[in-house]
């Protein structure tokens, strides 16, 4: 981390001289007075360059680029010095604006307002909330209102953080100060704390969408709740993580900004909360459907001493267009099946459809019409007709030759123009259909329909193709019939899993 000055090496002296001249010209062009002085004198003093660079940076016309490496602890001092020299002080920035359009100037004499921009879980202090003071002046033991929850929070002592070192803040602090507050009751990242009589809430910045999702499983069976609660506690610290449960198969799903982000979050949960977590690629929600029309009988008859079971129904089953869902039609006339047993047939069919036929995936987009049947005055029951409905469904599926449907997502990829060809070629290799592209300011946005199974781990592949400059979003679009090789593979995996059980 230490810095030492030395002469420019001779082998790069010419390159450095050229870059220096270009830099001076850029700074001069950003200010008319400097430009005139540069044209008259042919050079600018170091003081002129610093003033011009700061003015250009504050105005957004110049963007300084510094080379550094946190991994090797190089360049950190230069970054801090550049921040101090070039960026505006808190008092120089424009007024903050809340969601209602109200302005709040960064004035130490204005009403107090602060923004919680980060939350840390400290093993000794508990939860630490990092607050940036937007306006006003605060000291320890102040009471401020949380604008999200509507509750008052007593701040207690304020702390300055330097790495892991916590230093008590003994003096009042004003706009621009960053302080840590321990053990706030109901405050999380993105909340605004302010004077109760002068409310002000800074809007939460728009967060980028999560790019990759993994399924989490405990190493030990039965620890699912431990895994869920451990990751849940990390969400307070990292608002770019999203935790969910897949209602269909019960998987715990963790979404984040990339593979490394997910892996580090899981590692943090293991270290802090002593729970072993396994990362898995999430299951693709395939569906099954049918084509054509068939009429079949579902008959359930069982006699084993005492009261028996009897249910008999005839159904007509046919496939419907994509997205139609499930339609049940009661066409019974003349009371051949009593009214109270019709819902049982419907329920039996729905439960059988949820279990699937080909690969254990839910059957969708079909219509069932119950049009005939028979019953027994003593042995018939709701359970008997439920079983009869399930048997009729299975017979119909055998006759209709069901097909597997795969989910298609709308993928929107933004990449540098020079990477467009590689990305489109890669999407084609993933069975994607490019819908169109639009280029602006050197960035091309590509929209494509791609099977979900082909892009579950797209983030690292896109990163390598675009040298980390590409990003994407995806959302569910529709279902399409899966190609036979894909269907065969999914069915074989399901049969193998069933055999293993």
Q: 93 phi and psi, to 5 degrees?
A: -80, 160
Position 368 pLDDT exceeds 90: yes
Report the pLDDT averaged over residues 66-87: 90
In this structure, the number of other CB atoms found within 10 A of the CB of residue 319 comes to: 19
Instruction: Quote the tokens at residue 495.
Output: 């049969």
Phi, psi for 215 (deg, rounded to 5):
-95, 135
Alpha carbons 52 and 50: distance in angstroms, whole number: 6
The owner of tokens 């100037």 is 105
Between CA 469 and CA 456 the distance in angstroms is 19
**What is the spatial distance between Cα 464 and Cα 258, in angstroms, rounded to a whole number?**
12
pLDDT at 501 exceeding the cut of 70: no
Residue 309: strand pairing partners: 302
Question: What is the per-residue pLDDT across 431-462, written as a single tens digit (0 to 9) for each?
Answer: 999 999 998 888 999 999 999 889 888 888 89
* Contact indicator for 184, 129 with CB cutoff of 8 Å: yes
Provide the 10 A C-beta neighbour count for residue 39. Answer: 9
- Does pTM surpass 0.75? no
- Please determine, for residue 205, whether its predicted confidence score (pLDDT) is greater than 90: no
Q: Which helix (H) or strand (E) holds 460?
A: helix 458-465
Phi/psi at 18 (5° precision):
-65, -45
Q: Measured between alpha carbons, how far is 416 from 490 in angstroms, rounded to an integer?
A: 36
Q: How far apart are CA 156 and CA 96, in angstroms?
A: 26
Looking up tokens 């003071």 gives 133
* Residue position matching structure tokens 């300055």: 160
CA angle centred on 432, ends 428 and 437, rounded to 5°:
85
Q: Which residues of 269-298 are buried (b: 16+ CB within 10 A; e: fewer)?
A: beeebebebeeeebebbbbbbbeeebbbeb
Question: How much is the pLDDT for 211?
Answer: 67
DSSP per position, 167-207: EE--S-B-TT-EEEEE--SS--TT-EEE-TTS---PPPPPP
Q: Residues 210-241: pLDDT tens digits?
A: 767 888 888 877 778 888 888 888 887 888 88
Q: Mean pLDDT throughout 126-144? A: 89
Chain centre distance of CA 121:
22
Please compute the mean of the pLDDT values over residues 258-269 and round it to a whole number. Answer: 85
CB atoms within 10 A of CB 308: 15
Q: Does 248 have pLDDT greater than 70?
A: no
Sign of CA dihedral 44, 49, 51, 57: positive
Return the structure tokens found at 478.
Answer: 């529709």
Alpha-helical runs (H) found in 296-380: 342-355
Query: Strands 443-451 and 403-416: what pairing?
Result: antiparallel
What is the structure's pLDDT at 305? 66
pLDDT(88) > 90: no
Residue 284 pLDDT: 85
Is residue 371 within 8 A of residue 331, CB to CB? The reply is: yes
pLDDT at residue number 38: 85
- Alpha helix (H) ranges present in 307-379? 342-355
Confidence of residue 43 (pLDDT cuts 50, 70, 90): confident
Q: What is the rounded distance in angstroms from the CA atom of residue 129 to the CA atom of residue 121?
A: 9
- % helix / strand / coil in the chain, to the nearest 5? 30, 30, 40
Q: What is the pLDDT of residue 312?
A: 94
CA-CA distances (angstroms) from residue 435 to 31, 293, 432, 459? 45, 34, 9, 20
Closest residue by Cα to residue 68 from 82, 55, 52: 82
Q: Is the pLDDT confidence value at 251 over 90? A: no
Tokens 């993580």 belong to residue: 241
Do the beta carbons of residue 366 and residue 319 sit within 8 Å? yes
Please give the average per-residue pLDDT across 185-204, as a whole number: 89
Q: What tokens were used for 29?
A: 């062009």
Element housing 330 (H / E): strand 326-330
Pick the closest to residue 408 from 355, 452, 442 (CA basis).
Answer: 452
> Which token pair is 334?
């003349």
φ, ψ of residue 461 to 5 degrees: the values are -65, -40
């Amino acid at each position: 981390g230490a810095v030492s000055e030395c002469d420019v090496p001779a082998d790069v002296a010419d390159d450095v001289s050229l870059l220096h001249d270009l830099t001076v010209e850029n700074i001069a062009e950003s200010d008319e007075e400097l430009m005139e002085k540069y044209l008259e004198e042919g050079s600018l003093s170091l003081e002129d360059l610093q003033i011009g660079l700061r003015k250009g940076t504050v105005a957004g016309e110049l963007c300084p680029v510094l080379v550094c490496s946190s991994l090797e602890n190089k360049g950190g001092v230069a970054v801090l010095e550049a921040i101090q020299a070039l960026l505006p002080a808190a008092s120089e920035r424009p007024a903050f604006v809340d969601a209602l359009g109200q302005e709040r100037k960064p004035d130490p004499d204005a009403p107090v307002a602060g923004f919680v921009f980060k939350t840390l879980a400290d093993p000794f202090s508990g939860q630490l909330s990092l607050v940036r003071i937007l306006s006003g002046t605060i000291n320890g033991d102040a009471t401020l209102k949380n604008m999200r929850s509507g509750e008052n929070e007593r701040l207690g002592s304020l702390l300055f953080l330097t790495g892991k070192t916590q230093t008590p803040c003994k003096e009042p602090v004003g706009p621009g100060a960053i302080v840590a507050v321990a053990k706030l009751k109901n405050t999380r990242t993105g909340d605004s704390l302010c004077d109760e009589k002068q409310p002000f809430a800074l809007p939460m910045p728009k967060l980028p969408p999560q790019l990759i999702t993994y399924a989490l499983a405990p190493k030990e069976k039965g620890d699912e709740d431990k895994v869920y609660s451990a990751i849940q506690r990390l969400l307070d610290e990292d608002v770019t993580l999203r935790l969910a449960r897949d209602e269909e198969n019960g998987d715990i799903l963790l979404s984040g900004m990339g593979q490394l982000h997910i892996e580090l979050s899981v590692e943090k949960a293991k270290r802090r909360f002593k729970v072993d977590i396994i990362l898995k690629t999430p299951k693709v929600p395939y569906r099954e459907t049918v084509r054509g029309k068939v009429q079949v009988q579902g008959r359930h008859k069982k006699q084993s001493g005492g009261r028996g079971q009897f249910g008999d129904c005839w159904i007509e089953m046919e496939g419907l267009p994509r997205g139609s869902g499930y339609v049940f039609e009661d066409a019974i006339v003349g009371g051949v099946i009593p009214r109270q047993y019709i819902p049982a047939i419907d329920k039996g069919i729905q439960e059988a459809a949820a279990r699937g036929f080909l690969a254990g995936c839910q059957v969708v987009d079909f219509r069932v019409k119950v049009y005939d049947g028979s019953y027994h005055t003593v042995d018939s029951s709701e359970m008997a007709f439920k079983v009869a409905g399930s048997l009729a469904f299975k017979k119909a599926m055998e006759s209709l030759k069901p097909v597997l449907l795969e989910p298609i997502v709308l993928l929107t990829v933004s990449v540098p123009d020079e990477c467009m060809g590689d990305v489109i070629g890669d999407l084609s290799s993933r069975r994607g259909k490019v819908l169109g592209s639009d280029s602006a300011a050197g960035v091309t946005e590509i929209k494509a329909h791609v099977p979900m199974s082909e892009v579950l781990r797209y983030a690292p592949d896109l990163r390598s193709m675009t040298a980390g400059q590409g990003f994407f979003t995806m959302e569910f679009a529709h279902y399409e019939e899966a190609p036979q090789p894909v269907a065969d593979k999914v069915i074989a995996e399901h049969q193998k899993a069933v055999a293993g059980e």
